[in-house]
Structure 1
Amino acid sequence: MKKDEVKLIPFDVLEVVTEAKEIPEGVKLINAPAAWEKSEKGKDIVVAVLDTGCQIDHIDLKDRIIDGRNFTTDHNGDPDNYSDINGHGTHVAGTIAATENNQGVLGVAPQAKLLIVKVLAGKNGSGSYESIINGINYAVNWRGPNGEKARIISMSLGGPQDVPQLHEAVKNAVNNEILVVCAAGNGGDNKDTTDELSYPGSYQEVVEVGAVDLNKKPSSFSESNKNVDLVAPGEGIFSTYINGQYATLRGTSMATPHVSGGVALIVKQCENKNEFDRTLTEDEIYAQLIKRTTSLNFPKRSVGNGLLDLSKE
């Protein structure tokens, strides 16, 4: 990998199908449906998805996308064309917020809004640190038609370099009360003796997400280090895919949007008039997230505080 390059955290496409009608197993495993009533399914909470873009006319996603921007050379660098030619970003977006329409799949927060920030290009999904930094800053400064702001930034990407400007962009987002959720990375060796570091996931300021399988066992590929905050399902993850399709993928990339969507539910529930009845700070959102974990009997370097469990309060 070039030093100035960030890539999709590698992922495996296990199956692609043309039809679906189900709540995916990963969404069930974190007990998202148990939180839907109190959280209004994350209604209108904006999640910025920094990835390969999104199939904007996918039947399960078209009603969830509020806006977007392209920071890559794809589509001749047209900033207004944030279409996905890889599939990864569309899959991530679906796990966060695939809509309720009696077909397809359901996301963790099926009433949340998606701000699509295309920062990775090409069929291989690579980009510069500059595009990631610009994408983060765009998400921080973005305002919707009714003054909406991004509350969560979701990044299923990483690189080996600790770039100071990237760290500054992350810190700026956090200082603007945005929770930044990042994949731990797929370079794990299933040993817990040394830190395995990818950036931005390893920055202390972000929520670093590792992966478990559907039996709640840490995935062998999931990187372990002292900054892992929690885990979510990352194997056998069924979601939306390009060309109007659906696919089963695996990777910490797939675990991350479970947490990003979960945070949208948490924010919506906590800020309603029956609870805090005010805007939560980033620290408070993080505290509410960690309250909703179930401990797992594995080293904390692998699983952090445990598995996301949205049935907890």
Structure 2
Amino acid sequence: MENFAHVIPYDVIAEIAQANEVPAGVDLIQAPKIWHETKGKGITVAVLDTGCDHDHPDLQQRIIGGRNFTDDDDSDPTTFLDYNGHGTHVAGTIAAQQDNKGVVGVAPEANLLIVKVLNRNGAGKYEWIISGIHYAIEQKADIISMSLGGPIDAPELHEAIKKAIAHNILVVCAAGNEGDKDESTDEFAYPGYYNEVISVGSINDKRHPSRFSNSHNEIDVVAPGEEILSTYLNGKYAKLSGTSMAAPHVSGALALIINLVNYRFQRPLSEPELYAQLIKRTVPLGFSPKLEGNGVVYLTVLDQLVNVFEREVKSFVLSVQ
């Protein structure tokens, strides 16, 4: 299987030496509003990407291990350094630690398992990705995050993903950046087009679909994907755009959701149940489902609905007294 998948194409908007903020995308999906309940502690997200700058001050305490499946560093399995930048950026959006400096991720206490399946050129053989999925299963990851893809529907890759889901692992994938903002045309990238994965499209800060975001019937949700600030190589930061940047917002959100619902239900929920809990925390934006799926991830929507209900009940009670 010599075909290659690649990082979902993305644009580097700017590199930044220093930062000290909650990135706008993290704020848009309302993650800080539920940090008083959970920050994702104990949840492991396997990041299948180009590796990670594991010495980055915002990430080093969150990384619990990893493995290299690529031809970088003479294929040394213990060296999962990032020479591309993509994987480091994705990891930061998921779980950059909260320490009042740098940036903070959606789930700042989640664990990061760095699974390097794309080399310094952002390319990876399908066998590397499949091996990475099997490794994530072996390591008992809760979530697999893949901001990668290609035009080929590889049955072996599909089977590996189905195996992960059978092990109750949520698989989150970037939808792809070949979009033309036309809902009547479909653009496909695999594994993002597989029905079993959570396929994530991109929106901008105005909550409009990004012009580059793929559209098709398998889009599940959307998240911020334009000019996303996160960690980058050599301890720096960068703003990147692409569905690659949207997907890790959802991976981080799921880390928070797993903690919340397992506590409330007093039992571990299954992968379909967790998917349902994610969809309950989305808000439709008024665009075609091919562009936005079920809508934008908005982690406080259930609490807001409860507040509205309670106000209406209180108003009704007062009106009849």
Out of 157, 162, 171, the residue aligned to residue 166 of structure 1 is: 157
- After the TM superposition, list the runs of 4 or more consecutive aligned residues in structure 1 that deviate by more than 4 angstroms: none
Structure 2: where are the runs of 5+ without partners?
A: 303-321
Q: CA deviation at 1:278?
A: 1.1
Give the equivalent residue in structure 1 for 2:17.
Answer: 18
Give the equivalent residue in structure 2 for 1:146.
Answer: none
Distance in 2 (CA, whole Å) between partners of 1:14 and 1:303 is: 24
Distance in 2 (CA, whole Å) between partners of 1:57 and 1:184 is: 30
String of CA shifts for 1:55-81, please: whole Å, max 9, x gaps: 001000000001100000111111000
Give secondary structure in 1 for the equivalent of 2:6. Answer: strand
Contact 1:65 1:113 in 2 (8 A): yes
Q: Does 1:238 align with 2:229?
A: yes
Distance in 2 (CA, whole Å) between partners of 1:18 and 1:196 is: 36
Give the equivalent residue in structure 1 for 2:292.
Answer: 303
Code of the aligned partner of 2:162: K
Give secondary structure in 2 for the equivalent of 1:264. Answer: helix
String of CA shifts for 1:79-116, please: whole Å, max 9, x gaps: 00001000000000000000011110000000000000
Out of 217, 226, 242, the residue aligned to residue 226 of structure 1 is: 217
Out of 158, 169, 182, the residue aligned to residue 178 of structure 1 is: 169
Q: CA deviation at 1:203?
A: 0.3
Distance in 1 (CA, whole Å) between partners of 2:280 and 2:61 is: 31
Give the equivalent residue in structure 2 for 1:145.
Answer: none
Structure 1: where are the runs of 5+ without partners?
A: 143-148
Code of the aligned partner of 1:236: E
Give the equivalent residue in structure 2 for 1:248.
Answer: 239
String of CA shifts for 1:250-273, please: whole Å, max 9, x gaps: 00000000000000000011112x
Give the equivalent residue in structure 1 for 2:131.
Answer: 134
Q: Does 1:28 align with 2:27?
A: yes
Distance in 1 (CA, whole Å) between partners of 2:72 and 2:278 is: 35
Out of 271, 292, 295, the residue aligned to residue 281 of structure 2 is: 292
Distance in 2 (CA, whole Å) between partners of 1:248 and 1:44 is: 28
Code of the aligned partner of 1:13: V
Contact 1:3 1:161 in 2 (8 A): no
Q: CA deviation at 1:309?
A: 0.2
Q: Highest Rg: 1 or 2?
A: 2
Give secondary structure in 2 for the equivalent of 1:243. Answer: helix
Out of 107, 118, 125, the residue aligned to residue 109 of structure 1 is: 107
Distance in 2 (CA, whole Å) between partners of 1:201 and 1:308 is: 17
Give secondary structure in 2 for the equivalent of 1:137. Answer: helix
Distance in 2 (CA, whole Å) between partners of 1:197 and 1:59 is: 36
Code of the aligned partner of 1:287: A
Distance in 1 (CA, whole Å) between partners of 2:266 and 2:111 is: 21
Write the mapping of 1:186-201 to structure 2, written as runs, cut at 5 A. Answer: 186-201=177-192
Contact 1:157 1:182 in 2 (8 A): yes
Give the equivalent residue in structure 2 for 1:37.
Answer: 36
Code of the aligned partner of 2:222: V
Distance in 2 (CA, whole Å) between partners of 1:177 and 1:34 is: 27
Q: CA deviation at 1:195?
A: 2.1
Code of the aligned partner of 1:260: S
Distance in 1 (CA, whole Å) between partners of 2:256 and 2:64 is: 17
Give the equivalent residue in structure 1 for 2:208.
Answer: 217
Q: Does 1:280 align with 2:279?
A: no
Give secondary structure in 1 for the equivalent of 2:265. Answer: coil
Give secondary structure in 2 for the equivalent of 1:247. Answer: strand
Contact 1:109 1:264 in 2 (8 A): yes
Contact 1:209 1:230 in 2 (8 A): yes
Contact 1:61 1:94 in 2 (8 A): yes
Code of the aligned partner of 1:125: G
Distance in 2 (CA, whole Å) between partners of 1:89 and 1:35 is: 26
Give the equivalent residue in structure 2 for 1:67.
Answer: 65
Distance in 2 (CA, whole Å) between partners of 1:271 and 1:299 is: 32
Code of the aligned partner of 1:109: A
Q: CA deviation at 1:3?
A: 7.0
Code of the aligned partner of 2:8: I
Code of the aligned partner of 1:255: A
The two structures, once aligned, show a CA RMSD in angstroms of: 1.0
TM-score of the superposed pair, with normalisation by structure 2:
0.93
Give the equivalent residue in structure 1 for 2:118.
Answer: 120
Contact 1:153 1:180 in 2 (8 A): yes
Code of the aligned partner of 1:222: S
Give the equivalent residue in structure 1 for 2:257.
Answer: 266
String of CA shifts for 1:197-227, please: whole Å, max 9, x gaps: 1100000000000000011000000000000
Give secondary structure in 1 for the equivalent of 2:234. Answer: coil
